[in-house]
Structure 1
């Protein structure tokens, strides 16, 4: 008899619904599982290769099934009571010796809304520390901050996925949907079948670019300048929507004056995109009756990511393509709960409901829900990478990591690893012994997507309920249960009385009520009945808001804001020693730092090791053979990978995926320069040199020997 479990994929932001069938007696074997997509409003029943094989990591023999504590330098099995006693005792001792802010909390964008909420509350109420942030800082922070400044609200898509086929022109900027969110590709294929003109902006000719009518192979770090060129064409050709600008926006005159001074030939030289292509893209988008713009990490993971996104939003506003059917903007979320994970308190500056920790009214509202005085809430902390710098500087003495792998995911990874080694005490809650968990003093085993009930918010802003499909294996516990237990040990258990995920969600609803991300009208009962509900949803009889900004924007005056954006190349400059630009990204079978997907035999087999994509002409110039092991070095460090020739990448650029650790970790070489507005690191532009591993370089002689 076959057991059928209803669940949803744990990976990307589409959150595809599926069933997993298990043949009895084979529950620990790959052959005993069969995953099938279930019809739903987002993926329409599709699954990609990751979703089809997600069960493999959930049933891996590598899963942690009981707590581990470090004794005599080794991680050994311990009881939950012993592990939790050690955690509470060490946190308390460190805070007593160094202050409450000596303990930091580092979360993840794949945690459920309930756990993300509980983690933010845990940091501020149980630990009473201001230091909490999460790996979502590296995902959508640039788009989030740009959306808040421009629209007054940050939600991944301003409209629904179902409207994509209605767009006459679509711009996909820095997003490789074919490999990162493949179950969404049919929406774009249908749009093209309907006559849509698709523009892809990417330094690589990706699988997504194969769909394009026009591929703008932009130089990394110049996306913002490219859009300034397009805006100049739109202005010069008088293709702006004057009525929309006048009635629904402000600050256009400043932008207009700035655009008039732009030299289009200079933009072409800076970006590597011809004037003709810039003009074609601008005119086609502006003249289209409907249009949508999508950005992702290729645009956002820069030192000017915030401004780059704001410039794309300038173009959306200038042409009036928002707030109506087939028109809008989408920041294509990477992580499974990248949207919900940043709405309810994991970010250093946020409280639940997208409230600000620095706003006195917001502090008072949330403090009342939590039953504490507002003055007891700590203040704003720092971003994820800045936390790692404080760890390295030994200002943060202890760290609680949940659902993340900072040793691999942060830029300048060698500095981060050294900092982690310096910690007085490290706790990691994870399913596996990740690269970070290997340094932990206590490792706490958590349940997988199959076992942990909770809500997640997909890239549209649609809240979905993922039911628990099977009992927790071994001694694993839900991540939110671990937070409640540690809070109890710290003497703050009264603030964490939760018996199940639904109780946490009901408190989250109250804490978000009236906020920008208002979940108050969403309940488990409604989610079971209606499948998913868009926020904001202020009451239980509200249908949810599928399309934003139909009549006004979320600023107090109802108007969207234009922003003047400097025209300049951003990121680390190449030179004689480091002549190439290194960028990074994803490959289809893997997810984030690969902790889960590298433990799936099917997925791991598709990409056993990392690689460096390089143009053949560039490779020959640097004496790189196809398939050779190479060392890619920046000022910060060296990553060792295998070369792969491709004529689909710019000659001045190399590409390395982000899913591997140790010597293959691309972040050993990435640039930690932070965007001043959102603190996003500049992952996408690092000046590097490439050399065959077989060669040894004599710095003194300056020649190959």
Structure 2
């Protein structure tokens, strides 16, 4: 897991870190937890559930740069270590510049990087740690005939380089994929898509082609003769090094660019193929615009066309499919309906004027069990980050000069609210919700203004959330107060809105 805003992966509309914490505190169903680069003790909303869950583990293994709050959760003020039987192991991990591998950003650009600095002392890259643990586990399971152990014993685990050390490039090659009939790397995405089922493998199909003709993610040629900012020889963009997705939509019905000054792709009748300045995002490069395949501009959608809303749909199935026919492409719809809809947060000072009878999302996954009333908690808390501290602060709160610039969390309020409550800049205040409270300094600014919502004045309190009880720069955790209510589709918690009150401390 990356040390990210939600410290989670999302499966089936559930935020796995939040749901794990909920189930663990209630049932204690997990015995061992491996925690890589995640600091959920700080980042999870309504975070007291995290300590309760971790306290029910038999063993917790934390791999990180510093001893973050999660690695020493039993030391948090208010907890009694004598009541916590969890055995905790801290594995020193390598920092980003101390390991090779790839970084992929939101523009789909996969960029390879080499080791810049050797890891300090006994710290190791994540890959090395996982590799050592898995190999040791397989040794312990050797000779077992139990079906449940077969995945461990039969797993293809061959990431060693010529020196016997785990190679990040071997991992990227596995993501790229192999032709299982020859053992050769797949050279392009088309090789994977056109192969018979069972003849190719890939760790992630959209990465097919990234290492098939050398490590394309390592390319650093920034030249761009098109002046379109495509830079197709710089690193690798998934899938297929296509820089603009759905670029078939940039052409007319005859396959020619709608904008001659900004040509992405076009149909070359002489060559009988789609070509262009970008990689053609089409079903088949040899199928012209007069064919059913060549007309499709949105090939990732099973319907092949753009959508105003998403409905459950499966393409590639006959009306009466036989038992051996597999669905080719599936499309699901949003968990809470085919079209976006507005609902108020679970805790809100306002009525839903669009749907007075349906205040909140009826499909919301509500984990918190304590809720505040607007009469007792009249203000809206919204949380945010600051430039000096990244996410849960596991690294940045251990860097002295960043702590000097941003030494502590704060509660940012409008001048109107400050005047109303007699709170001045720098005053100690207590912010509290139905779930918890913190004591911080007040920041009275013009950045926050009094809103007019449904004809009523409404105040907002803004607070950064990157602090915890450990590190060089400990501080109170804003997520003491936040609400663990999850969006049913993405699993994103309501970090941006819950009800609180504030008073001078």
Q: How would you bin the TM-score normalised by the shorter chain?
A: 0.5 to 0.7
Deviations 1:497-545 (A, max 9, x none): 322110111111118955886111113632333464343344xxxxx11
Structure 1 residue 453, shift from structure 2 partner? 0.4
Residue 389 of structure 1: aligned partner: 22
Deviations 1:50-88 (A, max 9, x none): xxxxxxxxxxxxxxxxxxxxxxxxxxxxxxxxxxxxxxx
> Are the equivalent residues in 2 in contact too, given 1:518–1:535 (CA < 8 A)?
no
Tell me the secondary structure at the aligned position of residue 474 of structure 1: coil
> Are the equivalent residues in 2 in contact too, given 1:583–1:655 (CA < 8 A)?
yes
Residue 525 (1) aligns with residue 215 (2): yes
Structure 1 residue 442, shift from structure 2 partner? 0.5
Q: TM-score, normalised by structure 1?
A: 0.43
Structure 1 residue 691, shift from structure 2 partner? 1.3
CA distance in 2, matches of 1:424, 1:620: 51
Residue 168 of structure 2: aligned partner: 501
Structure 1 residue 109, shift from structure 2 partner? 5.6
> Are the equivalent residues in 2 in contact too, given 1:614–1:643 (CA < 8 A)?
yes
More helix by share: 1
Q: 1:582 aligns with which of 376, 381, 384?
A: 381
Unpaired stretches in structure 2, ≥5 consecutive residues: 74-86, 139-151, 160-165, 179-188, 194-201, 222-233, 249-296, 310-338, 350-373, 451-458, 470-474
Structure 1 residue 608, shift from structure 2 partner? 0.5
Structure 1 residue 383, shift from structure 2 partner? 2.1
Q: What is the correspondence of 1:149-160 to structure 2 with a 5 Å cutoff? A: none
Tell me the secondary structure at the aligned position of residue 608 of structure 1: coil
Unpaired stretches in structure 1, ≥5 consecutive residues: 1-106, 111-133, 138-345, 350-379, 539-543, 694-705
Distance 1:517 1:464, change over 3 A: same
Higher relative contact order (CA 8 A, sep 6+): 1
Structure 1 residue 657, shift from structure 2 partner? 0.6
Deviations 1:666-703 (A, max 9, x none): 1110110111112111110010001122xxxxxxxxxx
> Are the equivalent residues in 2 in contact too, given 1:632–1:638 (CA < 8 A)?
yes
Q: Bigger radius of gyration, 1 or 2?
A: 2
Q: 1:679 aligns with which of 491, 497, 500?
A: 491
Residue 470 of structure 1: aligned partner: 117
Residue 348 of structure 2: aligned partner: 573
Residue 301 of structure 2: aligned partner: 555
CA distance in 1, matches of 2:50, 2:71: 14
Q: What is the correspondence of 1:11-22 to structure 2 with a 5 Å cutoff? A: none
Structure 1 residue 555, shift from structure 2 partner? 0.4
Structure 1 residue 381, shift from structure 2 partner? 8.3
Residue 21 of structure 1: aligned partner: none
Number of aligned residue pairs: 321
Q: What is the correspondence of 1:68-217 to structure 2 with a 5 Å cutoff? A: 107-108=1-2, 135=6, 137=8
Q: TM-score, normalised by structure 2?
A: 0.60
Deviations 1:412-439 (A, max 9, x none): 0112122222222111010100000114
Calculate the aligned-residue CA RMSD, in Å. 2.4
> Are the equivalent residues in 2 in contact too, given 1:615–1:646 (CA < 8 A)?
yes
Tell me the secondary structure at the aligned position of residue 61 of structure 2: strand
CA distance in 2, matches of 1:384, 1:653: 28
Residue 398 of structure 1: aligned partner: 32
Q: 2:129 aligns with which of 461, 470, 482?
A: 482
Residue 228 of structure 1: aligned partner: none
CA distance in 2, matches of 1:673, 1:518: 32
CA distance in 1, matches of 2:3, 2:105: 11
Q: 1:632 aligns with which of 428, 431, 456?
A: 431
Residue 243 of structure 2: aligned partner: 546
> Are the equivalent residues in 2 in contact too, given 1:135–1:404 (CA < 8 A)?
no
Tell me the secondary structure at the aligned position of residue 565 of structure 1: coil
> Are the equivalent residues in 2 in contact too, given 1:405–1:593 (CA < 8 A)?
yes
